[in-house]
């Protein structure tokens, strides 16, 4: 087995390599003067089972190109099998035609990854489960829920916890976590009048005197979470926390979260933390390195991955 890291999330790649006790493969991933991406593998990979770790987060297009060039380099280096490990799968929110003459970019990215030379894909909490079907190669979609559940159990009394879905689309995810925690479920009914803007219309469920924990896959601008937190507090919730797998946190999201009623926002290291995130008073990180490391070990050994779910 060989572990190759591109540049988007090297700390996570190093943590995965440490978990597996496998050194990162020597590779030179750099830019030419005109910002073209160049990748040179510094070790023999012929006949090897290679895992390329790259989150396609900001700057998304640069990181996508690094991944594609690395996959091509490994294919031309005669690697036996190449697995694209994407802790965060960018473009996932463009999973359908949202209007006339609009793209399905999540499918386009899947085609590019496959054509570049990936034999299988490993990722965490796809925005929509059906994106697995965009790939014509084996795709494992892990869930961060076990990592979150362990943290929730160590901090809260289950009797007072209520799991909250911040929108109707996340009900399946929230219901699964509520079932595993033996907790009640509430749902936020929101409207989105335009992209990046959300309004809370109703709260389905009695949240009075409960510790509410919102769960979601992506937090970008933070508007939805902050508006939902304010609505829950107004409805009598004792506290509101949020557990979100991918902390995109673009623009003024960190300051928006800091000024909100959220007691804490807990994200994973699928996307590297910016300096603003690291110093934020109410943002915490949990590592998914052991989860990804164990999945990589099982893929390499041809053992079941589904038991990690």
Judge if 68 and 127 occupy the same domain. yes
Report residue 32's pLDDT band, with 50, 70 and 90 as the boundaries: very high
Q: Bridge-partner residues for 41, per DSSP? A: 27
What are the backbone angles phi and psi of residue 284, rounded to the nearest 5°?
A: -120, 155
Which segment of 20-24, 30-34, 174-178, 222-226 scores lowest on mean pLDDT? 222-226
| 134 shares a domain with 153 | no
**What is the pLDDT at residue 168?**
83
pLDDT score of 157: 77
Q: Verify that 120 and 178 share a domain, yes or no.
A: no
Q: For residue 298, name the pLDDT band (cuts at 50, 70, 90).
A: very high
Say whether 55 sits in a helix, a strand or coil.
Answer: coil
Mean pLDDT of the chain: 93
Does 129 lie in the same domain as 47?
yes
207 and 294 housed in the same domain: no
Host domain of residue 212: 145-287
Whether residues 166 and 219 fall in one domain: yes
pLDDT band at 60 (very low <50, low <70, confident <90, very high): very high
Residues 127, 196: one domain?
A: no
The answer to whether residue 308 scores a pLDDT higher than 60 is yes
Contacts of the segment 23-29: beta carbons below 8 A, 24+ positions apart: 25/50, 27/70, 29/66, 29/70
pLDDT at position 19 over 70: yes
Question: Locate tokens 């909250």: which residue?
Answer: 164
Q: What is the pTM of this model?
A: 0.93
Q: What is the CATH number of the domain that holds 20?
A: 3.40.50.2020
pLDDT at 299 over 70: yes
**Same domain? 297 vs 272:** no
**C-alpha–C-alpha distance, residues 287 and 32, integer Å:** 33
**In this structure, are 122 and 64 located in the same domain?**
yes
Q: What percent of the chain stands above pLDDT 90?
A: 83
Q: Which two tokens stand for residue 155?
A: 């901090």
Q: What is the pLDDT of residue 261?
A: 94
Rounded to whole angstroms, how far apart are CA atoms 82 and 84? Answer: 7
pLDDT in the model for residue 271? 97
Q: Domain check: are 189 and 84 in the same one?
A: no
pLDDT digits (tens, 9 = 90+) for 186-233: 999 876 656 555 666 688 999 999 999 999 999 999 988 998 999 999
How many structural domains compose the chain? 2
First to last CA, the chain: 23
List b or e across 56-82, with b for residues whose CB sees 16 or more CB atoms inside 10 angstroms. Answer: bbbebebbbbbbbbbbebbbebebeeb
Buried b (16+ CB within 10 A) or exposed e, 142-169: bbbbbbbeeebeeebeeeebbbbbbbee
Distance between CA atoms of residues 149 and 143, nearest Å:
11
- Specify whether 27 is located in the same domain as 51: yes
Q: Are residues 46 and 86 in the same domain?
A: yes
Span 296-309, average pLDDT:
92
**How far out from the chain centre does Cα 238 lie?**
28
Distance CA 196, CA 215 (A): 19
pLDDT of 181 higher than 60: yes
**Digit-coded pLDDT (tens) for 228-284:** 999 999 999 999 999 999 999 998 899 999 999 999 999 999 999 999 899 998 999
Q: Which residue has the tokens 């473009």?
A: 91
Tell me how far apart the alpha carbons of residues 198 and 265 are, in angstroms, rounded to a whole number: 18
Angle at 11 (CA atoms; ends 129, 35), nearest 5 degrees: 85
Please determine, for residue 130, whether its predicted confidence score (pLDDT) is greater than 60: yes
> What amino acid positions are annotated as catalytic residues?
190
Q: Where are the alpha helices (DSSP H) in 77-222?
A: 105-116, 145-155, 171-181
């Amino acid at each position: 087995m060989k572990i190759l890291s591109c540049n988007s999330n090297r700390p996570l790649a190093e943590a995965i390599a440490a978990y597996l006790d496998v050194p990162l493969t020597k590779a030179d991933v750099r830019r030419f003067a005109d910002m073209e991406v160049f990748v040179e593998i510094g070790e023999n990979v012929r006949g090897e089972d290679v895992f390329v770790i790259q989150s396609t987060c900001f700057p998304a297009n640069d990181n996508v190109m690094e991944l594609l060039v690395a996959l091509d380099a490994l294919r031309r280096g005669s690697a036996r099998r190449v697995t694209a490990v994407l802790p965060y799968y960018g473009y996932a929110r463009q999973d359908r035609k949202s209007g006339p003459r609009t793209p399905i970019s999540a499918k386009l990215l899947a085609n590019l990854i496959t054509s570049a030379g990936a034999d299988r894909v490993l990722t965490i909490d796809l925005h929509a489960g059906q994106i697995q079907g965009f790939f014509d190669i084996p795709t494992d979609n892990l869930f961060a829920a076990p990592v979150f559940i362990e943290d929730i159990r160590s901090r809260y009394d289950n009797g007072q916890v209520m799991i909250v879905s911040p929108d109707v689309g996340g009900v399946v995810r929230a219901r699964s976590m509520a079932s595993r925690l033996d907790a009640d479920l509430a749902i936020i009914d929101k409207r989105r009048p335009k992209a990046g803007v959300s309004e809370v219309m109703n709260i389905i469920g009695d949240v009075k005197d409960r510790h509410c924990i919102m769960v979601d896959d992506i937090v970008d601008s933070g508007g939805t979470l902050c508006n939902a937190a304010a609505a829950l507090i107004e409805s009598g919730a004792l506290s509101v926390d949020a557990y979100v797998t991918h902390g995109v946190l673009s623009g003024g999201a960190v300051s928006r979260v800091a000024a909100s009623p959220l007691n804490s926002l807990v994200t994973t290291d699928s996307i590297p933390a910016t300096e603003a995130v690291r110093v934020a008073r109410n943002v915490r990180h949990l590592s998914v390195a052991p989860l990804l490391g164990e999945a990589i070990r099982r893929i390499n050994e041809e053992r079941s991955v589904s038991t990690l779910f």
